[in-house]
Amino acid sequence: MLRQYDTSVTNAISFDLEHWHSATLLSDEVDDPVDHIADSVSIVLELLRRHDVRATFFIVGELADEYPGLVRNVADAGHEIASHGHTHTPLFDLTPDSFEAELQLSSRAIEDATGVEPLGFRAPNFSITRETRWAFPILESSGYQYDSSVFPVRTPMYGVFGAPVRPYNVSLDDPFSSSSESTARCELVECPLSVADTRFPLPIAGGFYARLLPVSVLKEGIDWLNRHGVPANIYFHPWELNPDVRIDCSMPKRFVSFTGIEKTEAKLDQLFTSFDFGTVRTMIENEATAGSVSRQNTVRFGRTDGTNHTEPRS
């Protein structure tokens, strides 16, 4: 008999929309990349339509400039549009001033393409860490209402060990703590990527880890979080659902970049069937209702006339 999971918790599903060859591991391996953006996004949109799931798309601004019609189609399908920077440059390679400029360019490109004012941000390569904590006040002053860049486990490429595992209002003097003792807490909400402590801290959030792990382990991790009242926050790239996106590169890079790519769509099929999923924004609204983040954030998501920032212009 199939196991029944608790669907009272709405988890967040998001897709980072960027050129597959802009990934750090692959950028120096590709001389003449084949563009799979339209095909990959089509696979994702059909999967979401089939399960009646609304997702968040973190979109690179340059891609919105290059494919405004495609990005508008994503918004018109009812999905939340957020920023993934303008050039997909990790914050490690930016200064505070150049990061602020990236945010402005990205917001303008997305709004020009879709009529959407992006309220959320995800740093390329999850590059908001202790070394780049200067990003938080810039995000808030730039009008962003949430960030989803913190990975609460240390990996060879990114992560902040010991960071909270559920959404919280950021404290500008201690941005990786949700402790009530932290001062200077602002309205900016951090939505960390998911780590489940089933037997040991397990990064189930998506990408390589979700492609590598069996779907039974992903389900166990999401179920563990939900049973503890914590929504899961998982992500993928559209190209990770497209088996045509492969290149001949070194074995380590091929393993990290393409392992399990032929099974990603089937895994998401099973996760969408077993659990409730929605946008990152929906997760924040539910957390505000539960008292985990400030209720001010749900007010800020709507205009005073009752319309919604994330609805496309007609």
Query: What is the per-residue pLDDT across 65-120, written as a single tens digit (0 to 9) for each?
Result: 999 999 999 999 999 999 999 999 999 999 999 999 999 999 999 999 999 899 99
* Alpha-carbon 251 to chain mean position: 27
Flag whether 141 is in a domain: yes
Assigned domain for 37 exists: yes
Q: What percent of the chain has pLDDT over 70?
A: 79
Strand partners, 57: 15, 81
Q: Rounded to an integer, what distance in angstroms lies between the CA atom of residue 241 and that of residue 134?
A: 34
What values do phi and psi take at 202, rounded to 5?
Answer: -120, 115
User: In the predicted model, is pLDDT for residue 285 greater than 70?
Assistant: yes
What does the block give as tokens for 51?
Answer: 């399960």
For residue 141, give Cα distances in angstroms to 81, 98, 100, 136, 207. Answer: 19, 15, 9, 9, 30
Instruction: Tell me whether residue 90 is in a domain.
Output: yes
Residue 15 lies in a domain: yes
In a domain, 306, yes or no: no
- Residue 128 falls within a domain, yes or no? yes
Residue 314 falls inside a structural domain: no
Find the domain containing 252 and state its range.
10-300
CATH number of the domain where residue 266 is located = 3.20.20.370
How many domains would you assign to the chain?
A: 1
pTM score, whole prediction: 0.87
Phi, psi of 104 (to 5 degrees): -65, -45
Structural tokens at position 256: 């990290």
